[in-house]
Structure formats: structure tokens, C-alpha cells
Amino acid sequence: MVLSLGGRWEQDVNGIEGKATLVTGGGSGIGLGTATRFASDGAHVTICGRTEEKLARACEQIRSVAPGETTVQYVVADVTSEDQVRAALDRSAEPTGGLDILFCCAGGAMHLGPIADADADAVRATVELNLIGTFLCIKHAVPFMGGGGSIVGMSSGAGHFPHRHLWAYGMAKAGIEMLVRYAAEELAESGIRVNAVQPGIIDDELMAFITAGGPLFDDYMAQTPISRPGTVTEVANAVRFLAGPEAAWITGECLAVDGGHHLRRGANYGLLLDGS
């Protein structure tokens, strides 16, 4: 929030303590890491995802760092279902009566390979999960952010520059980046900021099949100036910055958190297929 006092604009730097937050895809990886960071700063945290057992375990981890009065809860929801998204937002608003921060982290790739051989259903599913899921979350978050708020989308280096054979995922992530810009311009008058992060290769359970080593990992490292994989904590810190009052004059930004990978070429996912 930004306050006007005596004709001057001043930043509210009270952090996110007591704020209501929702993290989609919060059961693992970057989503879980960010939800944990929000809770450690005293925010009320709701996570959602499709697997209840995973969400329950994640909440136990988040509660271990949360201050005494902080609410940590989950709701099972598929972000491609408008009704389920609306229900998740209803639940996230319970602690305070509204929503202050939304991190649209849910995503994934259902197609990998050449365009000419693509399965159209897998491509549609990739777009639905990443782009349409993010759109639905933003759409239904707006009524809960009556006093303003912050939305952070999850893009990827693949949405910013080509990664060979990862085009369906990259196309969907590129759509998120443009959605973020449109939403930032439109929603600023309502006091809502909208930004995104663009992680590079992250050393978490989702990317373990790459970071364990092999030609694709070597290719990533050759194209990353800070030549190591990133950590969940590093991305969570970037999301926390964009979500909080420290970034009160930042909107419509897509922030690379990738060790400089965007300065070179994208990774060649053909190395997972046939070595091409």
C-alpha cells in the first residue's frame, strides 16, 4: 500500500505481517518455498493444489516457521476449474475478510517435442494449466482485493526466449507475461500491482531429473553466467519482494531469477529426446 500524506507519497514498509495470501501450486517446489517465506514473515497463508495429501504435508512444514497467530490452511483446487478457483479464493479470504497477495505458481509442461509432431490435446492442456489457470486466479482475486493488493505470476525463461522443443510450455508462459502487463495496466487504478518472476533451472524436486546431471544440465550450465542451478529460496525471495510493500512502485515487471541465463540462449530440450 502507498499512502499520501501532506501531498507526498510515502511507502508503507510494515512488511506483510497479518496479510492474507494465496499460493496456487503450493504443495511443493517454488510454491511451497514461497508460502513458507510468507508465513515466516507473519502472513496468513492458504495454499491450493490438486493432491490433498501433498497439501497437508506442506501445511505442516509451513506451520513450523509461522508465528503463533498466523493461519496456515489448504484447499484442494484445480486452477483450470473456475468454480474451484473461486472456492480457493473464498477460503483464502477467511482469516481477514479479503486477500492481499496472490502468487499464481501452479503450472507444468504436458508436451515436449517438435511442433510438427505435437499432440494438440497436450498443448491445450499446457495452455489451460499455465495461462488460463493464471487468468482465472487473477479474475477471481480482484473482488477480494478491495483495498488493493499484489499479484505475482509464474513465468519462466522459456517464456522469454526459446528453449528448443519446450515451445508449448514457453508459449503458455509468454502468454502469462503479456497477461501480467495487461492486468498491471488495468488494475493499477484499483491499487492492485501485477508482476511475474522468470525462474531459470531450479534445484528442487520438480527439476531433479535435470539437476541430477546429464547433457541437458550441462547445456543449462554452459548458458548460465552464474553457472549453478538456482534455489527455491532465491525465487521465493524474489516473489516476496514483488509481493510486498518494498516493491510498491513496481508493476507490469517480469523479473528474471536465472543466474543470467537470459543473457545467452535457451536450453536444448532435444537432449532429452534424441540428442538433437
Catalytic residues: 169
Is residue 73 a contact partner of residue 52, using CB atoms and an 8 Å limit? no
Query: Which residue from 206, 270, 253, 193 is spatially nearest to 232, judged by alpha carbons?
Result: 206
- The DSSP output letter for 265 is P
HSE of 9 in the Cβ direction (CA atoms, 13 Å)?
Answer: 4
How many CB atoms sit inside 10 A of residue 174's CB? 20
User: Bridge partners of 150?
Assistant: 101, 193
Backbone dihedral region for residue 275 (phi beyond 0: left; psi -120 to 50: alpha; all else: beta): left
Is residue 145 a contact partner of residue 99, using CB atoms and an 8 Å limit? yes
Report CA torsion sign: 269, 267, 216, 110: negative
